[in-house]
Structure 1
Amino acid sequence: MGFLDGLMGNASKVDVEKLEKELGEVLIEGEKIQSGYKVLRDSFIFTDKRLLLVDKQGMTGKKVEYHSIPYKSVTHFSVETAGSFDLDSELKIWLSGSHEPIGKLFKKDSPIEDVQKTLAEHVL
């Protein structure tokens, strides 16, 4: 991920092995990471059991919030691909009990279709 992509809020794919080492204490026994994406210091991780949002806070990023969303809580989602003049793709996820979606931007060459497939496999 380039620094400018991060400043613009664009997400980039993160290596699964790196995420497994970083999140080893958070994952439950037998839980497998399928894919993960990062925006500057924050990330969102798709496991075989849940969507895990990781929010690093403060100047040092030592304070971390782990927000677990069971896939059954996802009511619907949308994926918007990048166009000729639109330089990013967008993912929106709506949760039961919430009116506003969780939204993430992806750079133009990100595998947004893979994200859609991962969500579809767990939600549908």
Structure 2
Amino acid sequence: MGLLDALLGNASANDIQETQNDLARLLAPGEQVAKAYAIFRDQIIFTTKRLVLVDRQGVTGTKKEILSVPYRSIERFSVETTGHFDLDAELKIWVRGQTEPISKTFRDNQSILDIGRALAEFAL
């Protein structure tokens, strides 16, 4: 991932094996990382069993919130692309049992469309 892309809020694909090694202690037996994307310091990870959202917090980014969402709990999702005057693309994921969706903002259409396709592949 390029530093400029990260600063601009563009998602980029992460190395799957490196992500697998980073999450080794959290993954269930037989669970594999299928796709991984980074947005600045955060990550969106698709495994064979669930969606994992990693939110790095604080100035140093050493503190992390890791949200695990089984695919069966995803009720719906939406992808909003950028426009001429609205330069933010937005991904919303509604999870069963929550009233508000999980929301992520992107700066380019290609990133959000790739993640939307991955969501369709794993959650549908």
Q: What band does the TM-score fall into relative to the shorter chain?
A: 0.7 to 0.9
Where structure 2 has 5 or more consecutive residues not aligned to the other structure, the ranges are none
Structure 1 counterpart of 2:30: 30
Task: Extract unaligned runs of 5+ from structure 1.
Answer: none
Measure the CA separation in 2 of the matches of 1:4 and 1:98: 34
**Deviation, structure 1 residue 42:** 1.8
Alpha carbons of structure 1 residues 85 and 15: separation in structure 2 relative to 1, 3 Å: farther
* Alignment match, 1:102: 102
For 1:59 and 1:84, locate their aligned partners in 2 and report how far apart those are by CA, in whole Å: 33
Conservation of the 8 A alpha-carbon contact between 2:11 and 2:111: no
**Matched residues, number:** 124
Q: Residues of 1 paired with 2:99 and 2:8: CA distance?
A: 25
1:56 maps to 56
Residue equivalent to 1:44: 44
Aligned AA for 1:120? A
Per the alignment, residue 71 of structure 1 pairs with 71
**What is the TM-score normalised by the length of structure 2?**
0.79
Aligned-partner residue type, residue 118 of structure 2: T
Change (3 A) 1:81 1:8: same
Over residues 23-82 of structure 1, what are the superposed CA-to-partner deviations in whole Å (9 max), with x where a residue is unaligned? Answer: 222222221212222222221211111011112223333222221111111110011223
Q: TM-score when scaled to structure 1?
A: 0.79
Deviation at 1:6, TM superposition (A): 4.1
Q: CA shift at 1:88, angstroms?
A: 3.9
Q: Which amino acid aligns with 1:63?
A: K
Alignment correspondent of 2:16: 16
Percent identical residues: 51
